[in-house]
Structure 1
Amino acid sequence: MTQEFAAGAVASALAEYPLLYIGGDWVAPVDGGMLDSIEPATGKPWARVAYGGEADIDRAVAAARKAFDGPWSRMPAHERAALMRRFADLYATRTEHLAALESRDSGRALREARADIGMHAQYYHWFASLTDKHHGRTIPVDDSVHAFTSRVPIGVVGAICPWNVPLMSACWKLGPALAAGCTVVLKPSELTSVTALELARIIEEAGFPAGVVNVVPGYGAGGAGERLATHPDVNKIAFTGEGATAKAILRSSADSLKRHTFELGGKSPHIIFADADMDQAVNAATNSAWTLCGQSCALGSRVLVERPVYDRVVAAFTERAAQVRVGLPADPATHMGPQASQQQLDKTLRYIGIGRNEGARLVTGGARIESGALAAGYFVQPTVFADVTNTMRIAREEIFGPVAAIIPFDGEDEAIAIANDTSYGLTAGLWTSDLGRGHRVAARIRAGMVWVNTYRFIRWSTPYGGFGASGWGRENGLEALDGYLETRTTIISTHGTFPNAYAQ
């Protein structure tokens, strides 16, 4: 079977991706089938994609276990690194193709997808550099034993990725998992599976041993996702998505005591003090409010503004919202594309109604775009609510749409109190010309990443993850490896006889 057919690049009315990638082969689903991938900009199918069921997950886990017990975990670190670098180099040559597919599949603006995906090869190269960096240590005890620790790969990883940034999420899981020496079963969202299958094609071309990476699109509850979470031979689940799904994964996988890392939601505070560089602060705050059509965990959706500049910021948000070019994702002039699905559009519009009913002041936006070339897609206007209090649902619950809630405050203490009055703790941002204040406030905010006089600056070397309901563990940085490694302690007698010891 040719790679071209396997990857699904078949010329037809709909792009066809009829096969799963399991054990180094392109195979038809056993108990899955085919589903339509809906183009958010048109509301119509643009591709047909294979999805797997429980039996397909079983096949993929068996292939991953065979690869882990066989060549992969025993492969010298420098050889794993070389494969990862080869993959990264191939990935870099496909940036434009991958960006076009992700833009069409998820609805994100092409220029936004291009900028994001263009950085992924650097992530993979950086993770490749970590293959020989997870060291153990020697433990001094006495001269009767030599005691030391080793950091060893956890085993088979189930990587469950979301629909908003499917390739980035896959990168943040595959990179550290492969660097640690784990094997992976990747389950993309059933809404955006096309790029994961293209990713599998690059894995195959790079020459990874069969079974090291397996790709099985599928549904969550009652399908491939649930089977992956409960499978007794999966050692870890790395999941990005909603908190309710993470709790379901925990409950369903409790019997096997799997390890977990969760990158979940956020309701991030974006704090603007009166002494901030107002142009820079407003530029960053408006950009972060509507990036990815608001479908980002790190969205600065709660905009906290010190009262002396409150009216000025509300006016600036209103003006900037009118300048956002909402359009077809492939148009290079487009700033913001559609929501990723009808379900997500409905959710956003429902929350806009909630904001109105709660008494927040709608200053701009607040409706679906139902005219012209955008009428058939899932497009919504950039929306700004002013005079929001932190007790309102639009300030407490993750909307995942382009809805900014502007909240006034008086002084540092109130800003910090409002910022921390949330179950989430993923990211936060603040703007001030007082460096001392920047340090003071950042130190008191409960969030996994705090930006001062910048926003959404994320790199491969900067740990990313949250406090509280925003998740467990970290992605990126040296800390990302921790979730894919176990610590083994080895004690060797140096005397040839069993030393006197007491063990609990």
Structure 2
Amino acid sequence: MTKELKLYINGEWVDSSNPETQDILNPANQEVIAKAPKATKEETEEAIKAAKAAFESGVWAGRTPQERAKVLLQIADKMEENLEELADLETMNNGKTKREALSDAEESVNTFRYYAALLNNPNGVTYEAAEDIQTMIVKEPMGVAGLIVPWNFPLLMSVWKIAPALATGNSIVLKPAEITPMTAVKVFELIDESDLPKGVANLLMGSGSVVGQTIAESHDVDVVSFTGSTGVGRGIMQAATGNLKKVNLELGGKSPNIIFEDADLETAVDYALFGIFMGSGQVCSSGSRVLVQDSIYDEFVEKYVARAKDIKVGPGNAEGSQMGAIVSGKHMESILEYIKIGKEEGANLALGGSRIERNGMEKGFFIEPTVFTNVSSDMRIVREEIFGPVVAIQRFKDEEEAIRVANDTEFGLAGAVFSKDHNKAMRVIKKVRAGITWVNAYHLTNVQAPWGGYKTSGIGRSISTNALEEYQETKQININMDPKPIQFFD
């Protein structure tokens, strides 16, 4: 039976006044698994109003850090009890494999616990600014946080925003992507069972042009955190200028993965596969540009293509599936169009390039692992974010050229270097203009490390202690320890 989803406003599950709904599909077979409401501008404003009222009442912001931590741990425990269901919903709604979805669910639990633990740390500093003047620097919640989540990591990206925003005492209005709301709804069902006061957390489903735009423009929203494309991020930033709200943007990428001739070839091939085909390439930090030194280029390509050919593509919940479905038919067509462009540009299609319509995948949105070789930096498949299982393998001669080619992009989210020469690896990775980098690895990260990019890949940082700063104001308080006339005008 198709599930009818509802909005969550001021602690209540409510129907939208808009009769129009969004069919939520399983991308592995196009089965309609739910119908989601499309919130109106008025309902979005109502949720923002509820969040603001809750914040100003102090019912959450006024609690001690220890009290807030207790609720965060409560939510984490409830999520852990429902780990399998969360993973199944993620797989069914997003198309990723069950093992990836389960990893995301486990990391989501860890994220809530991490921020609960941070609340026991000292917050702020004091110092003597002048004789008899004691200065305190304190951190305060900003107010209402608008959180806009992408479709590629519906669960984890929601939690990466919810946990630090709530930990710092803010109220929140969360908007999941239109096509992947299932795990966000489940998280809010668990939040509803917790001791979080009503009105502090609100959930709105609907279009970016209505819900997202209203959140970004609202003068009652104090900070907006958005993860998604660079183009939409620019629009969010422009809309936020009305009240000059704080903006956190985690945007696109076209990340370089540099393989030197002295790298351990098996390790480099293995991580280069993981770097692009994990999540079917629908990952902002994917290593979609693999730069390989001339002397090992042909050998690397041969090994890489052979390994990529063996990747088992299938429904995310099918046993043995290593790469799942593309999230939607629309996005699948966009990826296939880029593959067509690559062939027209003269790149060599070494593997894949087609939709998979066999072995029970006829109704799903599946694309073969796709490898382009002999590419150049002026090609669109090298310059533009495809956001799919498509990799471009490019040659370079020496260290200087590797750095130049790696940085020849508007993006700056991620990058990696593979080499047995530690000094060279460190020398090169320091010159790669990106916020998330690896040496002899790819994609490995944790909640303790800040996440974000340079250039058009965004502004600000998610997770780690840095995320707390994104949802806090800094205030100085100066205390006169010996009050008496200053006699400035005597």
Could you give the per-residue CA deviations for residues 372-417 of structure 1, whole angstroms, max 9, x where no partner exists?
4111111111100000112211111100010010001111111111
SS of the counterpart of 1:271? Answer: strand
Aligned residue runs from structure 1 range 17-416, under 5 A: 17=5, 19-31=6-18, 33-70=20-57, 71-133=59-121, 135-221=123-209, 223-416=210-403
Query: How far apart are the structure 2 equivalents of 1:171 and 1:422?
Result: 30
SS of the counterpart of 1:328? Answer: coil
AA in 2 matched with 1:28: D
Query: How far apart are the structure 2 equivalents of 1:135 and 1:500?
Result: 35
AA in 1 matched with 2:410: S
- TM-superposed CA distance for 1:122, in Å, is 1.0
AA in 2 matched with 1:182: N
AA in 1 matched with 2:99: R
Query: How far apart are the structure 2 equivalents of 1:15 and 1:134?
Result: 45
- TM-superposed CA distance for 1:89, in Å, is 1.1
- TM-superposed CA distance for 1:501, in Å, is 6.9
- TM-superposed CA distance for 1:498, in Å, is 5.1
SS of the counterpart of 1:253? Answer: helix
SS of the counterpart of 1:45? Answer: strand
| TM-score, length-scaled by structure 1 | 0.94
SS of the counterpart of 1:74? Answer: coil
Distance 1:393 1:501, change over 3 A: farther
- TM-superposed CA distance for 1:33, in Å, is 4.2
- TM-superposed CA distance for 1:359, in Å, is 1.1
Identity score, percent: 37
SS of the counterpart of 1:141? Answer: strand
Q: Give the superposed CA RMSD.
A: 1.4
- TM-superposed CA distance for 1:51, in Å, is 2.9
Counterpart check, 1:453 vs 2:453: no
Query: How far apart are the structure 1 equivalents of 2:14 and 2:487?
Result: 57
- TM-superposed CA distance for 1:325, in Å, is 0.6
Query: How far apart are the structure 1 equivalents of 2:19 and 2:410?
Result: 37
- TM-superposed CA distance for 1:175, in Å, is 1.4
Gapped runs of 5+ residues in structure 2? none
Aligned residue runs from structure 1 range 400-479, under 5 A: 400-479=387-466
SS of the counterpart of 2:208? Answer: coil
Query: How far apart are the structure 2 equivalents of 1:322 and 1:442?
Result: 30
Higher mean C-alpha displacement, 152-161 vs 114-123: 114-123
SS of the counterpart of 1:246? Answer: helix
- TM-superposed CA distance for 1:178, in Å, is 1.2
- TM-superposed CA distance for 1:268, in Å, is 0.6
Gapped runs of 5+ residues in structure 1? 1-11
Could you give the per-residue CA deviations for residues 171-223 of structure 1, whole angstroms, max 9, x where no partner exists?
110111111111110000111011111110110112211112111111101x1
The answer as to whether partners of 2:240 and 2:247 remain within 8 angstroms in 1 is: no
Query: How far apart are the structure 2 equivalents of 1:365 and 1:454?
Result: 25
